[in-house]
Structure 1
Amino acid sequence: MLNALEVFTTVVVGVMVGVEFSVAFVMNRIFNALPEDADQLARAHGGRMLGAVMPVWYITSVVLVAVWAIAGWHRPGAGLAVTAGALLMVSVIMSILLLVPINNQGKTWTPENRPADWKEQMNRWDRYHYVRVAVIIAAFAFLAAALV
């Protein structure tokens, strides 16, 4: 049963990493190439859609890793799972303190009501997101290492 939990957790975190990597290095680059209004509208829509899903995904990932670490405390790799969980907690804290406030504003913007510095705010969100992606990739790597 613990093996199934470990694999399931690794897959859940891995898919989350894939989505966030895609946002950082694929979707936002596509959005940035669109005309200004389309770029801003696409980011607002993405902020609403992913802003609803990702908090559940992040918290679920942390809980799954915590259960793995507790249930497998006696097994090799438990320390790696704990490290992965700590990194995922860092990503949640980063999200709450740095990314969510920008996202909550950006998802309500339209071409008519967006602030003059909206691009600078989106660039700041992107920079924070790159760091968060690096953190969750590291967490995923620790989970993968804990499996072997």
Structure 2
Amino acid sequence: MQDVLAVVTVVVVGLMVGAEFAVAVFVNPILDRLPNDGGVEARSDGARVLGRVMPFWYIGSVVLGAVWSTLAWGDAGASLVAAGAALLVVSVVMSILLLVPINSRVATWSQEGVPADWKQQVGRWDRFHYVRVGVIVLAFTLFAVALV
């Protein structure tokens, strides 16, 4: 049972890392290069769609990590799993305190109604997101090492 949970956790967190990495490194930079601020509506739509999905993914990942950590307590690699789960908690706290407030504003934007400082706001979100991606990559790495 614990082995199945470990594999499921690594897969779920790995997919989340892949999605968040793609947003940070590929999707948002591409949107930012669209002419005439064409990426504003796409970012707004992304904020709405991902803003509904990602909380479940993040919280689910924390729960999986916490359960795996509890079941593995005392085993080899348990400290890696606990550290990975703690890093996922850090990513959730970062999201709530730093990213969600900006994301909530972005979700309401449209081409006809964006604030004058919209580029600064999405730039700030992107910088926080890069840090969050680093945190979840480290959590994933710890989980993967613990699995093997």
Is TM (by shorter chain) over 0.5?
yes
Matched, 1:124 2:124: yes
1:45 aligns with 45
Counting aligned pairs with the same residue, the percent is: 57
User: Aligned partner of 2:94: which letter?
Assistant: M
Q: 1:135-146 counterparts in 2 under 5 A?
A: 135-146=135-146
Cα deviation digits, residues 34-57 of structure 1 (max 9, x gap) = 123421001001001111100000
Matched, 1:61 2:61: yes
Matched, 1:13 2:13: yes
User: What RMSD, in angstroms, separates the aligned Cα atoms of the two structures?
Assistant: 0.7
> TM-score, normalised on structure 1?
0.98
Aligned-partner Cα distance in 2 for 1:21–1:122: 16
Aligned-partner Cα distance in 2 for 1:17–1:36: 31
Q: Any idea what SS the aligned residue of 1:145 has?
A: helix
> TM-score, normalised on structure 2?
0.98
Cα deviation digits, residues 41-100 of structure 1 (max 9, x gap) = 010010011111000000000000000010111311110000001100000000000000
- Report the number of matched residues: 148
Aligned-partner Cα distance in 1 for 2:96–2:25: 21
User: Aligned partner of 1:142: which letter?
Assistant: L
Matched, 1:3 2:15: no
